[in-house]
Amino acid sequence: MKRISIDEYFLKIAAVVAERSTCRRRRVGAVAVLDKQILSTGYNGAAAKTKDCLELGCLREENSIPSGKMHEVCRAIHAEQNTIIQGCLHGVSLSGATIYCTHTPCILCAKMLVNAKIKRYVSYQNYSESEFEELFKEAEIDFEILKRPSSEISFLD
């Protein structure tokens, strides 16, 4: 049996976090990590204590809005945004952290991640836009797309 890499380990955790998503179009999960320790997690979904798309339906689908456009017409807060918010709520700085996320970021999340001073962003799936790449390059944030991790969990019996 081969041991999974640390990147695969945290990408798998991000995929599990995405299972909490209340988005009907795309489930996204993110994990902020520093020195192999999880700092915070987030998934895409409606603001706390408000009704979500699973209950009310998707505004973007109802209005035929393509992925990556008009982010403001959505009930959801993105996974990366929720990761930053959770860090703030619990007094945890993400400065120098790596973000492991199931998808690459939209430009709005990328700007927030730059200001949160993350150092690295790792994903296994592209979102519908790529504007973040130039911003990450300018802000010196390392960016990698890795192979999607196996959904299989191996146990030793």
Give the pLDDT means over successive 10-residue stretches in the chain (157 positions): 91 97 90 98 91 74 71 80 97 98 95 98 89 96 95 77
pTM of the model: 0.91
- For position 73, what pLDDT does the model report? 59
- For position 7, what pLDDT does the model report? 98
**d(C-alpha 155, C-alpha 157), whole Å:** 6
- For position 92, what pLDDT does the model report? 97
- For position 156, what pLDDT does the model report? 67
- For position 54, what pLDDT does the model report? 78
- For position 152, what pLDDT does the model report? 86
Could you confirm whether 80 is annotated as catalytic? yes
- For position 138, what pLDDT does the model report? 97
Structural contact between residues 95 and 114, judged by C-beta atoms closer than 8 angstroms: no
Check 19, 80, 133, 152 and give the catalytic one. 80
